[in-house]
Structure 1
Amino acid sequence: MPVTETTIEANGMTFRARMAGGGGEPVILLHGFPETSHMYIPLMERLEGEGYRCLAPDQRGYSPGARPEGVENYRYHRLAEDIGAFADWMGADRFHLVGHDWGALAGWAYVCSMPERVLSWTALSVPHAQAFGTAIRNDPDQAQRSQYVQLFVQEGAAEAAFMANDWAVLKGVWSASDDAEKAEYFSVMSQPGALTAGFNWYRASNGIDPANEEIVFGEVTTPTLLIWGNQDRAIGRTGVVDGEQYMKGSYRLLELDAGHWLVQEKPEEVVDAVLAHLRANPA
């Protein structure tokens, strides 16, 4: 069956979502900023063909029915609650988890707090949250790469910058996406409150700082695959390398000659690697 669009009820909210597959092991896929579940269509089509059952929600802030006001509603523990609720909606006690960008940070929060529910974990672009946060604070290269976050956390100023000149900055982010993908992203991000909600993910974490969080970003026992592009302008090597110290289960780093938008830039390599990781960690 093809990838279909639906709505699901989870954690007291209504999420727009994409689904594929009628049976098999469940896979939850989490997008980042400023994208939607559309980014995962190529991966979902392949996974469905291999017998997996996929759910990719438009996450908190990106779904009109799941767009709470207030920065506090976008803290890591809220994002993790959503993931558990998505699995509950699927009727899945255990599931495979895939996340890109902020979806990866949400995924790290979940595997650090509820590892018993995750069969395998694939992080795209973003390393372990504690290692990444430490790199932002202590590594000059990563600090420079993360300068943009200082704008994103400024309420009002960030929105104005992205909306200026017919949303030129926002539209420029999607240079790796095709026209259909860009059209969907803009249709969502231009909705009232959506851009602010997207920025609230940054604001709630004090600029991607996992310190003083309800969730402790510690050791990871879940079988983990990290796929990172060595041309990623936002995420340097330091956090990627330092994150390995937290991996206490099976762990693999796949380094690609790519930027931040891995699924769009290297679709075949990403899909093949994710599928192999899922197959290596069956229910």
Structure 2
Amino acid sequence: MAIIKVINLGTLQFDCRMAGAEKDELVILLHGFPETSIMWTALMADLIPKGFFCLAPNMRGYSKNACPKGKKHYTIEKLGQDILDLATAIGKDKFHLIAHDWGAVIGWYLAYHFPTKILSYTALSVPHLKGFFQALQTDPDQQQRSNYIKLLVIPFIAEYKIRKNDFKLFRKLWKHSREVELEDYIKTFQEKKVLTAALNYYRANFGKTRTEEIGEIEIPTLFIWGNTDMAIGAKGVALSHQYLTGPYTFLEIDAGHWLMQTSYTAILPPILKHLNTHRTY
């Protein structure tokens, strides 16, 4: 069973779900938007008996005492460094990485820039960033799917619309979540500074992620995509494969964006196989 532990990184305090024996290989799990680390509890419970130690942080902006004010604090470089520092803080030099949505964006950044730190990478829903942004620039379908971002980057207006009618917009996205997850999400986003911080991921990075610097991925990678994903179209997925030059497995399933909630039984076996194939002991 996961426990919540606070890990201090300088002046920031990260609320982290941790489970398993610390002697085992580390798996770090990164949540997306608009969720928290509670989305990973089922997977963590299945990884522990397989000999993995799990760390799932509420990332920068989602931990109530790790919400620095201003979008400059939410660049991809800072978000990525947090993950490396969390691993160091618990005495681990290397780790497996599993990530969804915005967590996967951070994951692709780490997989390219810090390959010696990552034993294996599992990305859910979001493809290699260069492929995605190429599709966003050229593919009308992806442009339409990403229209929602235009709202999220507008200060104050986005916050107002999201909070309207008791988070009606978010509740539509959470319709597949368990009650315990829903309660955690509402509690988290009711913190005024948390919602703005989460939106700052878009405001600090959208169009500025320097995707040309995120090139070929050589570490072992598993990418799982649902072909009815509302946010990620087929073009970006197809364009991404060329940048995976190391051991690479792609799995397309009949599902939408929220793979942990709707397709867990389908994604668990390939995730376990990927981790076991690339573990070091």
Q: CA deviation at 1:34?
A: 0.7
Report the Cα distance in structure 2 between the residues aligned to 1:61 and 1:135, rounded to whole angstroms: 28
TM-score with structure 1 length normalisation? 0.96
Report the Cα distance in structure 2 between the residues aligned to 1:69 and 1:272, rounded to whole angstroms: 40
Q: CA deviation at 1:192?
A: 2.2
* Structure 2 unpaired stretches of 5+: none
Report the Cα distance in structure 1 between the residues aligned to 2:242 and 2:267, rounded to whole angstroms: 24
Deviations 1:65-85 (A, max 9, x none): 111111111111111101111
> Which residue pairs with 1:150 in the alignment?
150
Deviations 1:17-47 (A, max 9, x none): 1011013110000000010000000100000
Amino acid of the structure 2 residue aligned with 1:263: M
1:139 corresponds to 2:136: no
Question: Could you tell me the percent identity over the aligned residues?
Answer: 43
Report the Cα distance in structure 1 between the residues aligned to 2:187 and 2:78, rounded to whole angstroms: 25
> Which residue pairs with 2:14 in the alignment?
15
1:246 to 243, 247, 258: 243
> Which residue pairs with 1:43 in the alignment?
43
| 1:130–1:210 Cα contact (<8 Å) kept | no
Counterparts of 1:21-170 in structure 2 under 5 Å? 21-22=20-21, 23-170=23-170
Q: CA deviation at 1:206?
A: 2.6
DSSP 3-state at the match of 2:55: strand
Report the Cα distance in structure 2 between the residues aligned to 1:104 and 1:12, rounded to whole angstroms: 25
> Which residue pairs with 2:204 in the alignment?
204
2:252 to 248, 251, 255: 255
| 1:133–1:210 Cα contact (<8 Å) kept | no
* Structure 1 unpaired stretches of 5+: none
Q: CA deviation at 1:241?
A: 1.1
> Which residue pairs with 1:231 in the alignment?
228
State the superposition RMSD in angstroms.
1.3
Greater than 3 Å deviation, 4+ residue runs:
none
Q: 1:240 to 1:11 in 2, by over 3 A?
A: farther
Q: CA deviation at 1:11?
A: 5.3
Deviations 1:150-196 (A, max 9, x none): 00000111111111122211222201101111000110011121111
Report the Cα distance in structure 1 between the residues aligned to 2:56 and 2:279, rounded to whole angstroms: 20
Report the Cα distance in structure 1 between the residues aligned to 2:135 and 2:196, rounded to whole angstroms: 26
Q: CA deviation at 1:10?
A: 2.8
Q: CA deviation at 1:92?
A: 1.1
Amino acid of the structure 1 residue aligned with 2:5: T
> Which residue pairs with 1:270 in the alignment?
267
Deviations 1:238-257 (A, max 9, x none): 11111111111011111111
DSSP 3-state at the match of 1:193: helix
Kindly tell me the number of residue pairs found equivalent between the two proteins.
279
> Which residue pairs with 1:221 in the alignment?
218
